[in-house]
Amino acid sequence: MSSTVGISVIIVNYNTRELLRNCLRSVFEKTEGVSFEVIVSDNGSEDGSIEMVKQEFPQVVLLENRANLGFGTGNNRGLDVARGEYIFYLNSDTLLLNNALKIFYDYWNSHAEENLGVLGCNLMGPDNCLTESHGKFPQAGKLVKAMAHHLAAFGVKNVMRFLHMDYSKLRPRPKYERFIGDVEYVVGADMFMKNSPAARFDENFFLYFEETDLQWRLSLQGQRRVLIDGPEIVHLVQGGKRPDDIVRYGSFSMIQSEISKVRYTKKNLSRLASFLLKGMIFVHWLSPYIFKNTRKYFGMLWRV
């Protein structure tokens, strides 16, 4: 494939019109000194996102998928048409505060001999505090232990909710520290990569763990995942809202996260651990407060 631009920015959108509008504005306003294209892969939005992009950003390459294909598949559709030498996967709920694309581009080209796989940066939350920017690869034992702890805590919260007790403080807000250097994986909100087959996601993951899976494969090939200094990006994460602890676990996104957790564990770690996780999630989903949402996904979880 002959590259005609330096960077292809790929943004998957699903009913986030206002967030997408602000994200696109920041990309076009802040980027200079490097050629780029922006590809919006829309997963069947019904909130006017498509019309907004056509009217306000005619220079954007708009892919109308007409169905919610999921995060990884939506990105892959963008990758299929990307003309850039590099790919920048960017969430629609982000804002660029500076010329981040150029900084990533220059860093990669000045460190090309270092077997880079993915670049990311320290992300800021809507409160100007650091938010999640990287993580460690899951381990089977730790996943099972964490799920058991979560199941117990979730049961306590169910009881407290039934007794009309405040349980909001049982989930402390995590604190993140600034880090520069090699990490196990960069979060999927901002991933700068070479345009190659290695940038393609496993489409079996609908939502969550797809970037972890991709970077696990890169790690097996000895390719580095690095957070660099310089790019300034805000990740709003659900628009900055902090949803109710119990209700959020009955949300579509959290249900998909737990399905993907089982899928990742089965694919990359341990079939036994994935079976144990599956069993605990089944119990978790029986909560009367979320069962109305989870009940239709029991068959999907069983088939993982």
pLDDT tens-digit readout, 147-173:
999 899 888 888 888 888 877 776 777
Q: So what's the pLDDT on residue 243?
A: 59
In this predicted model, which residue has the larger pLDDT, 170 or 280?
280
In this predicted model, which residue has the larger pLDDT, 162 or 284?
284
Q: What is the Cα–Cα distance from 128 to 304, expressed in whole angstroms?
A: 39
Residue with tokens 């938010």: 131
Q: So what's the pLDDT on residue 23?
A: 98
Q: Is pLDDT above 60 for 239? A: no
pLDDT (tens digit per residue) in 98-127: 999 999 999 999 998 899 999 999 999 988
Q: How large is the average pLDDT for residues 198-211?
A: 97
Q: How large is the average pLDDT for residues 186-203?
A: 97
Q: So what's the pLDDT on residue 242?
A: 57
3-state secondary structure at position 28: helix
Q: Which range is least confidently modeled, 2-16, 125-139, 229-243?
A: 229-243
Q: Is pLDDT above 60 for 33? A: yes
Percent of the chain scoring above 90 in pLDDT: 83
pLDDT (tens digit per residue) in 57-76: 999 999 999 999 999 999 99
Closest CA to 247 of 173, 193, 167: 167
In this predicted model, which residue has the larger pLDDT, 131 or 237?
131
Q: What Rg, from alpha-carbon coordinates, does the chain have?
A: 20
CA distances for 93 relative to 3, 21, 144, 180, 233, angstroms: 28, 10, 31, 23, 10
Q: So what's the pLDDT on residue 1?
A: 44
Residue with tokens 């009913």: 15
The rounded Cα 201 to chain-centroid distance in angstroms is 12
Q: Contact 78/39 with Cβ under 8 angstroms?
A: yes
Q: What is the Cα–Cα distance from 24 to 32, expressed in whole angstroms?
A: 14
In this predicted model, which residue has the larger pLDDT, 116 or 237?
116
In this predicted model, which residue has the larger pLDDT, 248 or 216?
216
Average pLDDT, the chain: 93
Q: What is the Cα–Cα distance from 10 to 2, expressed in whole angstroms?
A: 18
Q: How large is the average pLDDT for residues 198-218?
A: 97
pTM greater than 0.85 (yes/no):
yes
Q: Is pLDDT above 70 for 211? A: yes
DSSP one-letter code for 177: -
Q: Is pLDDT above 60 for 278? A: yes
The tokens for 270 are 């341990």
How far the first Cα of the chain sits from its last, in Å, is 35
Q: So what's the pLDDT on residue 154?
A: 86
Q: Is pLDDT above 70 for 244? A: no
Q: How large is the average pLDDT for residues 39-45?
A: 98
Angle at 198 between CA 196 and CA 201, to 5 degrees: 115
DSSP E strands in the chain: the ranges are 5-13, 36-42, 61-64, 84-90, 94-96, 116-124, 134-135, 181-182, 185-186, 190-194, 224-235
Q: So what's the pLDDT on residue 245?
A: 66
Three-state secondary structure of 188-222: CCEEEEECCHHHCCCCCCCCCCHHHHHHHHHHHCC
User: Taken in order 46, 57, 55, 63, is the CA torsion positive or negative?
Assistant: negative
Q: So what's the pLDDT on residue 139?
A: 97
